Amino acid sequence: MICYYNHPIAKPSLLRAQNPMAFDLSSDNSVFRGVSSSPPIRLRDLVFVVNPRGANGRTGKEWKKLLPYLQSRLGSDCNICESLTSGPSHAIDITREAIREGAHAVIAVGGDGTLHEVVNGFFSDGKPVANQNEAVYSTALGLIPLGTGSDFARTLGWKNDPREAIERIAKGVRSRIDVGVISREAEGSHYFINVADIHLSAKAGYYASRYKKFGNMCYVIGALQAFMGHRNQDLRIKVNEGEWQTCSQVTALCVGNAKYFGGGMKITPNADPRSGSFEVVILQDFKWYDFLLKLHKLYNGTHLSVKNVTSRNVYTIEVDDISGSGSIFIQSDGEHLGFLPRKLSILPAAIEMIC
């Protein structure tokens, strides 16, 4: 039976189970537990946030194919709330409203861009969004990777297999993961779950976003366009609230909460979203031919031994452009944020994730 869920922002459709049996998915349980007592217990709401235009419309098509299996696997135990995004930042609004209304989980269906927005929806005005219904559980984050990149899923060792993702959701195992927060004076906070990067790679990501119709080739096209007129720049950084220091001729600076970006490049190979810290990798004085010669190392994560590549673990890092040009790009999870300066900080164990 299909009915509609009264949602003031997202207006998702709600596919309700006809079997009143519910599972206990509270945060202090690692797996679903059947409940057979009477009277019937309210079913748990799982809100699936879908970008139907993702991956050139492939996400929407794959979601329609997946929905019958999703209903058959989860529909007897949960309320399956489908919410289709209509444009940029809509997933943020949907997620905030779902958490406030007591959803058990919000599941991003798509690529890293959709996941990025859903993660940002877990926060508002610099703090976590609160459940207004005083539920005893916290809303969990879930993921069904269907997008172009799906780089965060790679860190967790997940395949782009939606049925495998549904099995994870069915088992309901939760684990706390870290989230990064990016701030700038007189501006609001921005959150990321995967990798934030600065200068050439961020510029490449900015251009790549224009070529998503070419799939993962968009990253190659974006990189080629970013190299045109590129100049390495001197940056200054402050690590863990210490003293400012100069990094000369920076090509790219990457702050990893997870390992991969750019469609499978293992840029911060030692990053772990459960570690409570970032891995920061800095590439200095790279020329265009360095990327061609060392591209395989960047993809397989063996580049830390390359000359002019450094790595360190940090809790906070501030980055500024010494020249003051205001033209050094920064992005997070493949989303363009603007330009330096910025401060990046880790929020340990900030979100519960179904994994």
Q: Which residues are catalytic?
A: 112
Peptide bond into 39 cis (omega under 30): yes
The crossing angle, in degrees rounded to 10, of helices 162-171 and 58-74 is 40
Tell me whether strands 140-145 and 127-128 are parallel, antiparallel or unpaired: unpaired
Token representation of residue 13: 């459709």
User: What phi and psi, each to the nearest 5 degrees, are found at residue 115?
Assistant: -60, -40
Q: How far apart (Å, rounded) are the C-alpha atoms in residues 225 and 213?
A: 16
Q: How far apart (Å, rounded) are the C-alpha atoms in residues 58 and 1?
A: 26
Helix locations, the chain, DSSP H: 58-74, 90-100, 112-121, 151-155, 162-171, 200-208, 217-227, 288-300
Local structure of 106: helix, strand or coil? strand
* Closest listed residue to residue 67, CA positions, set 81, 53, 51: 81
* Closest listed residue to residue 91, CA positions, set 41, 49, 142: 49
347 burial via Cβ count (<10 Å: 0-12, 13-18, 19+): middle
Local structure of 335: helix, strand or coil? strand
